[in-house]
């Protein structure tokens, strides 16, 4: 079965970004000129996803409006003959009926947010993208590569990367065996272990392809690290009956839920834009010489 649906959990409180996230999901913050969520949605389409499922909390309105038509804006752009901008805003709107919103009525954790999409997913494999993990790649996106792996392995796949040993308490960490180029077979995983207890420095990053069996374990609503219902804990249970693989992606990852990570993402993605790159480089030189 093909992976056609993707879940985007966007119901977190985003406390590290207050006050910006008081009335708006952090996924609506822009990197250069696009909301973070749009990068992830574009990545999903590129990977062949046909149905987008947003699990929202606060800030639902801005997100819904972003992916909907704005007749007033379109009319104004048309009148002003700004055809390229008109085309850009029109392209943002998915075909009606392919985008679904559901609400997580309490931010009980990432695992709970995904569980909220269970009826919409039904009995098929699906992708999960945490938009605040932005990954800059050359060529094919991380999710597209993961879909290929899933098609071959017919098993759940999580994106992984190596992190500094003293950073393990920020991630879900793997105990895994290297099987082939960039692929690990997971034996066990642990959420946010202290560096002394971490079985490796391989950390799960916000891209997953999961089999629907995961809902059985998410539905148990076991509270884990931080008192939250964690996806990692459900995956750990799933491991007892199904294999799960870790795919070590190539690319530069930014944690946009973190202030420094967010600024770095802005800089890195701005460098890809010929219209602003030179001005920024000049400015960086200027502040570097002042530092
Ligand atoms: P984070 O761990 O970054 O939490 O969530 P957060 O609440 O968004 O941010 P901080 O730590 O308070 O600053 C990881 C992802 O899971 C989603 C978030 O929206 C983000 O995409 N999430 C988290 C939910 O949808 N619901 C939750 O209950 C928790």
- Cβ–Cβ < 8 Å for 209, 172: no
- Cβ–Cβ < 8 Å for 199, 174: yes
Q: Count of domains in the chain?
A: 1
**Nearest residue CA, atom 16 of ligand 1?**
110
Question: CA 261, 262, 268, 270: dihedral to nearest 10 degrees?
Answer: -170
pTM of structure: 0.95
Question: 266: helix, coil or strand?
Answer: helix
pLDDT at site 31: 98
**Nearest residue CA, atom 1 of ligand 1?**
12
Q: Which of 36, 41, 57, 110 to mutate to test the pocket of ligand 1 (most atoms within 8 A of CB)?
A: 110
- Cβ–Cβ < 8 Å for 24, 36: no
**Nearest residue CA, atom 22 of ligand 1?**
12
Residue written as token pair 């995956």: 235
pLDDT at site 181: 87
pLDDT at 35 over 80: yes
Judged by phi (left if over 0) then psi (alpha if -120 to 50, else beta), residue 251 lies in left
- Percent helix, strand, coil in the chain, to 5, is 40, 25, 35
pLDDT at site 218: 97
Question: Is 85 near ligand 1, meaning CB less than 6 Å away?
Answer: no
pLDDT at site 58: 74
Q: b/e string for 33-61 if b means 16 or more Cβ within 10 A?
A: eebbbbbbbebbeebbbebbbbbbbbbbe
Residue 65 maps to which CATH number?
Answer: 3.90.550.10
- Cβ–Cβ < 8 Å for 95, 111: no
Q: How far is the CA of 228 from the centre of ligand 1 (A)?
A: 10
Q: Give the range of the structural domain holding residue 134, as residue numbers without chain letter.
A: 5-290
């Amino acid at each position: 079965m093909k992976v056609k649906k993707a879940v985007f959990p966007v119901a977190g409180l985003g406390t590290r970004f207050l006050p910006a996230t008081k009335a708006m999901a952090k996924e609506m913050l822009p990197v250069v000129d696009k909301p973070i969520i749009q990068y992830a949605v574009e990545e999903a389409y590129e990977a062949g996803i046909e149905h987008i499922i947003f699990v929202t909390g606060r800030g639902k309105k801005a997100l819904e409006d972003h992916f909907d038509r704005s007749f007033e804006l379109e009319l104004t752009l048309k009148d002003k003959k700004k055809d390229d901008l008109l085309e850009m805003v029109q392209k943002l709107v998915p075909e009606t009926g392919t985008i679904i919103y559901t609400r997580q009525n309490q931010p009980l954790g990432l695992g709970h947010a995904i569980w909220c999409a269970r009826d919409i997913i039904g009995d098929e494999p699906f992708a999960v993208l945490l938009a605040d993990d932005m990954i800059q790649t050359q060529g094919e996106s991380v999710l597209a590569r993961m879909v290929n792996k899933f098609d071959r392995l017919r098993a759940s796949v999580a994106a992984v990367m190596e992190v500094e040993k003293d950073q393990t308490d920020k991630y879900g960490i793997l105990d895994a065996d290297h099987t082939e180029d960039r692929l690990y077979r997971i034996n066990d995983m642990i959420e946010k272990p202290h560096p002394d207890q971490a079985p490796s420095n391989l950390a799960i990053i916000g891209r997953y392809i999961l089999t629907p069996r995961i809902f059985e374990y998410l539905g148990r609503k076991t509270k884990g690290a931080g008192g939250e219902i964690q996806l990692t804990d459900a995956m750990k249970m799933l491991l007892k009956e199904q294999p799960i693989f870790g795919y070590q992606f190539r690319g530069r990852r930014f944690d946009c839920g973190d202030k420094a990570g967010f600024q770095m993402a802005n800089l890195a993605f701005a460098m890809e834009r010929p219209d602003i790159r030179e001005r920024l480089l000049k400015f960086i030189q200027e502040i570097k010489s002042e530092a």
